[in-house]
């Protein structure tokens, strides 16, 4: 196994979730995780508020910008923006099944056009020194066979992509919502292992349904890394425990409360720059998951709470007091 250590643990790109505040929070939990932005389309980056889309803080490194698009020149331009902004990697989204994405001819539907994806990757990588990686599914619609995925990876790797994040499910392009497409198609981890065996020189990072430390450790017998999505959002403290276990470093595992205090400091500092507390507090509502008082903590910090709407910092103290018995 090649073992690109930087991708042993990755936190997935998630629209409306993995903004820079969430990524800051993740970094408090994990020293090592490779963090991914939400997907940004090439049109948004070229014609929209670029500075806002690209903004991140140095503590986030290593951090990748995820792009959605299928026009090789636009993608190349966006790679430049990412490199100039200081990102460590650009990731191309070939896994998203939403209608909006299909109309724009990008996302999972591009799995059926590996030549175009190869052209995109080639053009992107040619212009920047940072790595260009691809996040994909194991297939689309009725193409759930090994040959289809093999051919896709083979063509895109030949174009210059060395690292693939593979969500171990097919995407059904019509009839299922994006949410259903993360739940209904069955997980097929073995298919991802087959790909790793067929391409031992590539970095293969597995994604989909990982919520337990033991299963992550087991995955590491077969592939180079894991990417965690929903569980990082729903049960973020698990990421701290996982980092500690996977990297076996001799640092002390920070407690939930210590993480909270550091993020509280961050929230207060950011709020002096005009960021609303509710935009930041929403990311930590799962921090005490499974602990006494967790429900109250969650209620205090949810975006719908009337006090958080008033932007009052006292609410953060009320929230942490509701889990006073937890360390």
Ligand X SMILES: Cc1cc2nc3c(=O)[nH]c(=O)nc-3n(C[C@H](O)[C@H](O)[C@H](O)COP(=O)(O)O)c2cc1C
Q: Which is nearer to ligand X, 210 or 239 (CB)?
A: 210
User: Can you tell me which of 67, 210, 315, 320 binds ligand X, judged by CB under 6 A?
Assistant: 210
User: Can you tell me which of 30, 123, 207, 278 binds ligand X, judged by CB under 6 A?
Assistant: 207
Please name every residue paired with 139 in a beta bridge, in sequence order, or none if there are none.
170
Q: Which is nearer to ligand X, 14 or 267 (CB)?
A: 14
CA triplet 19, 14, 58: central angle to 5 degrees?
35
User: Can you tell me which of 9, 12, 33, 108 binds ligand X, judged by CB under 6 A?
Assistant: 12
What is the rounded CA–CA span in Å between residue 249 and residue 240?
12
What is the rounded CA–CA span in Å between residue 232 and residue 255?
16
Q: Which is nearer to ligand X, 166 or 267 (CB)?
A: 166
Question: What are the φ and ψ backbone dihedral angles of 171, each rounded to 5 degrees?
Answer: -110, 135
Q: How far, rounded to the nearest angstrom, does the alpha carbon of residue 207 sit from its chain's CA centroid?
A: 10
Q: Which is nearer to ligand X, 165 or 259 (CB)?
A: 165
33-62: contacts with ligand X (CB under 6 A): 38-39
Q: Which residues are identified as catalytic?
A: 96
User: Can you tell me which of 230, 261, 296, 305 binds ligand X, judged by CB under 6 A?
Assistant: 230
For the beta carbon of residue 66, count every other beta carbon within 10 angstroms: 26
Residues 6+ apart with CB under 8 A from 154: 114, 199
User: Can you tell me which of 11, 13, 54, 159 binds ligand X, judged by CB under 6 A?
Assistant: 13
User: Can you tell me which of 10, 11, 14, 195 binds ligand X, judged by CB under 6 A?
Assistant: 14
- For the bound state, the minimum distance from the C-beta of residue 87 to ligand X, rounded and expressed in Å, comes to 15
For the beta carbon of residue 22, count every other beta carbon within 10 angstroms: 23
Task: By CB under 6 A, tell whether 117 contacts ligand X.
Answer: no
Total chain residues near ligand X (CB under 6 A) = 22
- For the bound state, the minimum distance from the C-beta of residue 154 to ligand X, rounded and expressed in Å, comes to 21
Q: Which is nearer to ligand X, 171 or 294 (CB)?
A: 171
Cis? peptide before 200, omega within 30° of 0: no
Q: Which is nearer to ligand X, 70 or 207 (CB)?
A: 207
Tokens coding 211: 């919520």
- Residue span binding ligand X (CB under 6 A) among the ranges 93-101, 108-116, 256-264, 304-312: 93-101
Q: Identify the three-state secondary structure at position 165.
A: strand
133-172: contacts with ligand X (CB under 6 A): 135, 167
- Residue span binding ligand X (CB under 6 A) among the ranges 12-20, 116-124, 263-271, 299-307: 12-20
**Contact in structure between 23 and 35 (CB atoms under 8 Å):** yes
Task: By CB under 6 A, tell whether 226 contacts ligand X.
Answer: no
Helices of type H across the chain: 20-29, 42-47, 50-54, 72-85, 99-103, 114-127, 146-158, 189-198, 213-219, 230-234, 237-247, 256-271, 277-281, 294-301, 306-309, 314-321
User: Can you tell me which of 45, 67, 75, 96 binds ligand X, judged by CB under 6 A?
Assistant: 96
Of all residues in the shown chain, the one whose CB is closest to ligand X is 229
Binding residues (CB under 6 A) for ligand X: these are: 12-15, 17, 38-39, 66, 93, 95-96, 135, 167, 182, 207-210, 228-231
């Amino acid at each position: 196994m090649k073992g690109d250590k930087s991708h042993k643990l990755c936190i997935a790109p998630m629209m409306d979730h993995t903004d820079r505040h969430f990524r800051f929070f993740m970094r408090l939990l994990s020293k090592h995780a490779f963090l991914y932005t939400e997907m940004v389309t090439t049109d948004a980056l070229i014609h929209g508020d670029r500075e806002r889309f690209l903004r991140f803080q140095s503590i986030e490194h290593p951090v990748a910008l995820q792009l959605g698009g299928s026009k090789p020149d636009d993608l190349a331009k966006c790679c430049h923006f990412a490199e100039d902004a200081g990102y460590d990697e650009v990731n191309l989204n070939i896994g998203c099944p939403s209608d909006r994405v299909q109309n724009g001819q990008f996302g999972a539907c591009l799995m059926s056009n590996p030549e175009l994806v190869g052209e995109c990757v080639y053009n992107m990588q040619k212009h920047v020194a940072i790595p260009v990686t691809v996040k994909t599914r194991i297939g689309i619609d009725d193409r759930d066979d090994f040959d289809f995925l093999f051919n896709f990876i083979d063509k895109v790797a030949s174009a210059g992509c060395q690292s693939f994040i593979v969500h171990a499910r097919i995407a059904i392009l019509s009839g299922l919502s994006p949410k259903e497409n993360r739940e209904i198609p069955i997980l097929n981890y073995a298919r991802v292992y087959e790909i790793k065996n067929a391409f031992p020189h590539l970095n293969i990072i597995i994604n989909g349904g990982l919520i337990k430390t033991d299963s992550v450790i087991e995955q590491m017998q077969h592939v180079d890394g894991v990417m965690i999505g929903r569980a990082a959002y729903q049960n973020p403290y698990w990421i701290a425990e996982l980092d500690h276990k996977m990297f076996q470093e001799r640092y002390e595992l920070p407690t939930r409360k210590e993480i909270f205090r550091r993020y509280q400091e961050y929230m207060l500092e950011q709020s002096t720059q005009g960021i609303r507390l509710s935009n930041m507090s929403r990311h930590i509502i799962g921090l005490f998951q499974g602990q006494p008082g967790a429900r109250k903590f969650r209620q205090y910090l949810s975006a719908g709470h009337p006090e958080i709407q008033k932007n009052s910092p006292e609410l953060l103290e009320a929230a942490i007091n509701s889990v006073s018995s937890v360390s």
